[in-house]
Amino acid sequence: MSHWAGKYVIGLTGNIGTGKSVVRRMLEHLGAYGIDADALAHRVIAKGAPGYAAVVDYFGKYILKPDGEIDRGRLGRIVFGDPEALAKLESIIHPLVRQGADYLIRRATQPVIVVEAIKLIESSMAKQCDSVWVVYAPPEIQLARLMKNRGMTEKDARQRIVSQPPQEEKIAAADVVIRNAGTFDETWKQVVAAWRKYVPLAEEIPSQAVTAPAIKGQLQIERGRPHHSSEIASLFNRLDKKGKPMTSEDVMAAFGEKAFLLLRLDQQLKGLIGWQVENLVARTTDIHLDPALPVNEAIPALIQEMERASSDLQCEASLVFVPPSLARHDGLWRNLGYQRTTPEALEVQAWQDAARESMPAGSVLLFKKLREDRVLRPI
């Protein structure tokens, strides 16, 4: 019986570089509400958060940046080679992360929840989950991903890999094992098969069109799905003839990082936005529109649907990154409630981190608060 009444909770884990986050996003595409325990761990030690003082008291002000926030890189270097220090840090953070996850699960309207946590099995949360899913990748794949995606040296990457328990230990405790060593499509098929087999409350979100009423039904918006990958690639290539041609495989890989909203005019794909929700922050990094589309109608239709979907995921704020050519439509963005800003000017550390992590080069940051109450303020 589920620890959370009316919810089916998937505990998702795996060693570093196996692709846990990619699998979590796949489950989100299927309708699950995703929680990243690592992101919660970052929030609970932010300045003003409940874990901040305890961490600073134990490790000292040496770990602080000039602005008073904890330098996670410096803290990581301290605990990485000191098991006792790591255990102390975890004793501070983990109870707060469990409390935050519990709060988000209880608030979520979705019947299926996926909690991604690298130490899920070692913690008490695994016993509260309805099923445990483990993502596996061969060590050589882990190594390549860490060097490519995180910029690690081969020496550092190997050290991180061997410092973790063998993957076989996690596999032994798993209800589902996802072998993430091939293409996105191969992994996606495993996830869909396991979803249909193990998740009794789940029904894949239907790809329903949402009519934009202000445009008298001419434009329709629908949630993109992996089977739209060829159509999306074709749109990218048609609108950007200067860049490297995009393939359907490229788009499939992008589904491991973000979701797409598709805009159709008379059933023809004419525009889209790509966005992701991480740590209760919506981040729109792609906006592509056919030049024939009316910007003052197409943008509001897409942005408002993105906000609606993001609010369903308890988002606190929306960050939209646009090229200067779209940013110059000041009146349009003001009417939608957005203001130009910089990452440094955002009032919440988690929002600043999201902006710095996601902001494409040469783009303009537009910000909107989606709710006045901070979701994790009680934690």
Tell me the binding residues for ATP: 17-22
The total of other beta-carbon atoms located within 10 Å of residue 80's CB is: 13
User: Could you count the other beta carbons within 10 Å of the beta carbon of residue 379?
Assistant: 19
Structure token pair of residue 295: 């910007």
Do residues 164 and 16 lie in contact, with contact meaning Cβ atoms separated by under 8 Å? yes
User: In degrees to the nearest 10, what's the CA dihedral of 130, 227, 312, 213?
Assistant: -150
**Quick one: 102 exposed, middle or buried, by C-beta within 10 A (0-12, 13-18, 19+)?**
middle
Q: How far is CA 17 from the centre of its chain?
A: 16
Residue 51 corresponds to which amino acid? G
Closest to 272 in 3D by CA, of 334, 311, 314, 225 = 225
Q: Please give the sequence-ordered ranges of beta strands (E in DSSP) within the chain, or none if there are none.
A: 8-13, 33-36, 112-116, 131-136, 176-179, 209-211, 219-223, 259-265, 268-278, 281-289, 317-322, 339-341, 364-369
Q: Cα-Cα-Cα-Cα dihedral of 269, 236, 260, 273, to 10°?
A: -90
Burial 273-312 (b: 16+ CB within 10 A, else e): bbbbbbbbbbbbbbbbbeeebeeebbbbbbbebbbebbee
Alpha-carbon distance values, 57 to 40, 53, 63, 92, 94 (Å): 20, 6, 10, 11, 17
Mapped onto helix, strand or coil, the DSSP state of residue 2 is coil
DSSP-assigned letters across all residues of 140-152: HHHHHHHHHHS--
Residue 204 DSSP class: P
